[in-house]
Amino acid sequence: MMDQDDLIGDDCAVVELGDEKYLFSLDSFIENTHFKTDYFSPYDIGWKALAVNVSDIAAMAGSPLMALIGLNLRQDLEDKENWVREFYSGVKDCALKFGGVKIIGGDLCKSEAEISVSVSIIGKTHKHGVLLRSGAKAGDKVCVTGSFGNSAKFLEEKCNGNVRSWKCDIFEQAHLRPIPRISEAQTVWKNNSRGALMDTSDGLAQALIEISEQSKLDLCINTEQIPRDKDIDLSLALYGGEDYELLGCFEEVPEDFTLIGYCKKPDIEPKVIFEPNGEMLINNKSYSHF
């Protein structure tokens, strides 16, 4: 039986039901906070609302099973019926692409203000166990999936009125239709029997700090190895956020992950160190929900 403290604090809550362990998570997706309808289609909203929840399951190397969706629509929205159809088309396509998630119910309400979506997702842990943020050990390799700063770069170009090529390019897809790393999460078990894992939705910097603090280790990071597009600077890659990639610490680097550093025992308090200059990562630039 897991301790109560083990059930919360990661990307999902871990709950034992009989002899099985299940993963539970909930995310809200709110107009003018997480999306704007002038560049998010209803399809995009549906896709992303589910994708960010699937990413939480991937962050603990589990498999998504089912989800419930609550949708609140503005009263002044035109053609609500077609809007809802397109929204659920995005949900359905995302569900089919990533693990065959079953949509088992939900709720539909009118809203006086913004459109909002709330998704509750249920997954199952891998047969080998669950990966927590606290699972790293000294000597582990720090590694990531994908590339960083793409989603934030799309917003930066959009805000600057730069319509150069953001339509239909990699930055736009990263922001509007992120790819949860379910298949990559499953590969960690091929060469590893334990480790630490989480997603980087609040920024790579924040994820590094979270694993450092919860595993009580120094994470030594070579910033030149952090994968990013040539047009994206280091600050955007670290602090931009909404990159639904995975950050892990393992004995061996899994397939489809990129090595960016290593873990070691701290001298005093655990911290994130940039090599080779020894600069410490500070968390006051990271995304805050409030």
pLDDT at position 164, please?
A: 55
Per the structure, the complete domain to which residue 116 belongs is given by 4-124
Q: Which among 21, 22, 20, 48 is positioned nearest to 34, based on CA atoms? A: 48
pLDDT in the model for residue 278 = 79
**Residue 288 pLDDT:** 54
Q: Tell whether 152 and 271 lie within a shared domain.
A: yes
For residues 180 and 273, membership in a common domain is answered with: yes
pLDDT (0 to 100) of residue 279: 86
Task: Mark whether 159 and 274 lie in a shared domain.
Answer: yes
Please tell me the total count of domains within the chain. Answer: 2
What gap in Å lies between CA 283 and CA 230, rounded to an integer?
24
Residue 162: the pLDDT is 64
Nearest Cα neighbor of 44 from 143, 137, 178 is 178
Specify the pLDDT at position 290. 40
Q: How far is CA 241 from CA 149, 208, 275, in A?
A: 7, 13, 22
pTM of the model: 0.92
Domain annotation covers residue 8: yes
What pLDDT sits at residue 170?
A: 86
pLDDT value at position 78? 86
3-class DSSP assignment, residue 190: helix
- Positions in the chain short of pLDDT 70: 1-8, 161-168, 283-290
